[in-house]
Amino acid sequence: MNSVFVYCEVTEDAQVAEVSLELLSKGRKLANQLKVRLEAVIIGSSKSASIAPAVFPFGVDVAHIASHDNLFPYLTLPHASILKHVFEKEKPEIVLFGATSIGRDLAPRIASALKCGLTADCTSLEIGDHTENRTQREYKNLLYQIRPAFGGNIIATIINPETRPQMATVREGVMKKEIFNPKHKGTVKKIDVNSILSDNDFSVSIIEQHIEKSKVDFKNSQIIVAGGYGVSSKENFDLLFQLAEVLGAEVGASRAAVDAGYAEPERQIGQTGITVRPKLYIACGISGAVQHRAGMDQSAQVISINTDPNAPINAIADYTIIGDTAEVIPKIISFYRKNSK
């Protein structure tokens, strides 16, 4: 069987992006199960030519590196041309991309060119078998691409029985970054950029970029106060910021709260937002749809504040405070002030 591949994103400072390292960790496990190699494709500026030592500890056996100053910042067509070239030659079994603005721009182009399946925003990836009902045909060692599906409380397992590679995107934070072996040795394969790219690949060019450092920091927050549609107004949402300030917490939101304009999109937690694992998660006016839970059910402790005693989120909460967030949050703040020295 052929290899598991991970497309590695390169950051401003010529490092491999966090999400890509997380995917390498997952990719290593899948490769072990399949008894195949893990390979990385890294496309970046000439500064990234010597990036390979950063990925080998994650268990990368082969690092395909394309470095050229034209290749950073990211542009769709040159990266797509290079990937198509590598994949047509190497015929990967599995390819993983981060579900970032780069991965979600690039992966569908590759899937379309290679006529293979692609599953977005997977929350879990496993290896398993499949028997086709109609033909009774058996398939061994397929990639199960697992994601919450449309609407209610449903989890779908998607497979690509016939086509290769099997491709998936995964959001940052969903997989755990783990060093495989600090001494793991891999080999570097340089990609001959000039023989692949043509002028047509540069028909889109970047005039200007304003990179804004995100105001939201979930990675270093032990406590997250998250608000949903039940918070009911932007003014009430300010109470969450007050509570967060008092507790030294970060503020998160459900998608319904983001859609309603109560919070910025970068605060969204869930399948199509960020995945968090804090010590304490305070869910305020959040019903607990499966897409939301996908991003927070690894929290050590959960408190739900909800007017509905039967809200699904309560089932995964350690404590359920029945009440209106607008009344409960000020009480928590004052009890905290009173009891903490």
Partner 1 sequence: MSFRIICLAKQVPDTRNVGKDAMKADGTVNRAALPAIFNPEDLNALEQALRIKDTRPDAEVILLTMGPARAAEIIREGLYRGADKGYLITDRKFAGSDTLATSYVLSLAIRKLAPFNLIISGRQAIDGDTAQVGPQTAEKLGIPQVTYAEEIISLTDDEIVIKRRLEKGVEIVRATMPLAITVHNSASHCRPRIARLVMQNKHARSVTELQAETRDYTELYQSRPYLQINEWGFEDIQADVEHLGLSGSPTKVKKIENVVLQHKATQVIRTDQEIEALVKELLDAHIIG
CA distance 10 to 68: 13
Q: How far is the CB of 286 from ligand FAD (least distance, A)?
A: 4
Contact of residue 53 among ligand FAD, partner 1, none (CB under 5-8 Å per partner type):
none
| Cβ closest to partner 1, residue 49 vs residue 223 | 223
Q: Cis peptide before 165, with omega less than 30 degrees from 0?
A: yes
Taking CB under 8 A as the criterion, the residue among 198, 214, 233, 307 binding partner 1 is 214
Place of tokens 């890509």: 20
Residue 135 CB contacts under 8 Å (≥ 6 apart), including other chains: none
Q: How far is the CB of 243 from ligand FAD (least distance, A)?
A: 14
For residues 40 and 53, is the Cβ–Cβ distance under 8 A? no
CA distance 272 to 270: 5
Contact of residue 157 among partner 1, ligand FAD, none (CB under 5-8 Å per partner type):
partner 1
Instruction: Say how far residue 249 (Cα) sits from the centre of its chain.
Output: 22
Taking CB under 6 A as the criterion, the residue among 134, 150, 183, 206 binding ligand FAD is 150
Contact of residue 158 among partner 1, ligand FAD, none (CB under 5-8 Å per partner type):
partner 1
Taking CB under 6 A as the criterion, the residue among 48, 100, 272, 320 binding ligand FAD is 272
Spell out, one character per residue from 301 to 320, where the chain touches partner 1: x when CB under 8 A holds, - when not: xxxx----x--x-xxxxxxx
Q: How far is the CB of 59 from partner 1 (least distance, A)?
A: 27
User: Does 88 engage in binding with partner 1 (CB under 8 A)?
Assistant: no
For residues 218 and 274, is the Cβ–Cβ distance under 8 A? yes
- Candidates 1-9, 23-31, 46-54, 211-219 — which segment interacts with partner 1 by CB under 8 A? 211-219
Q: Which of residues 299-318 bind ligand FAD (CB under 6 A)?
A: 305-308, 311
CA distance 243 to 212: 26
What secondary structure letter does DSSP report for 274?
Answer: B
Q: Which of residues 227-256 bind ligand FAD (CB under 6 A)?
A: 228-230, 232, 254-256
User: Does 64 engage in binding with ligand FAD (CB under 6 A)?
Assistant: no
CA distance 65 to 39: 11
What separation in angstroms does the CA of 321 have from each of 31, 202, 287, 306, 308? 45, 56, 13, 6, 10
| Cβ closest to partner 1, residue 23 vs residue 62 | 23
How do beta strands 62-67 and 94-98 pair?
A: unpaired
Other Cβ atoms within 10 Å of 154 Cβ, number:
11
CA distance 81 to 99: 19
Q: How far is the CB of 294 from ligand FAD (least distance, A)?
A: 7
Taking CB under 8 A as the criterion, the residue among 178, 266, 308, 324 binding partner 1 is 266
Contact of residue 123 among partner 1, ligand FAD, none (CB under 5-8 Å per partner type):
none
Residue numbers at the binding site for ligand FAD (CB under 6 A): 150, 228-230, 232, 254-257, 268-273, 285-287, 289, 291-292, 295, 305-308, 311, 324-325
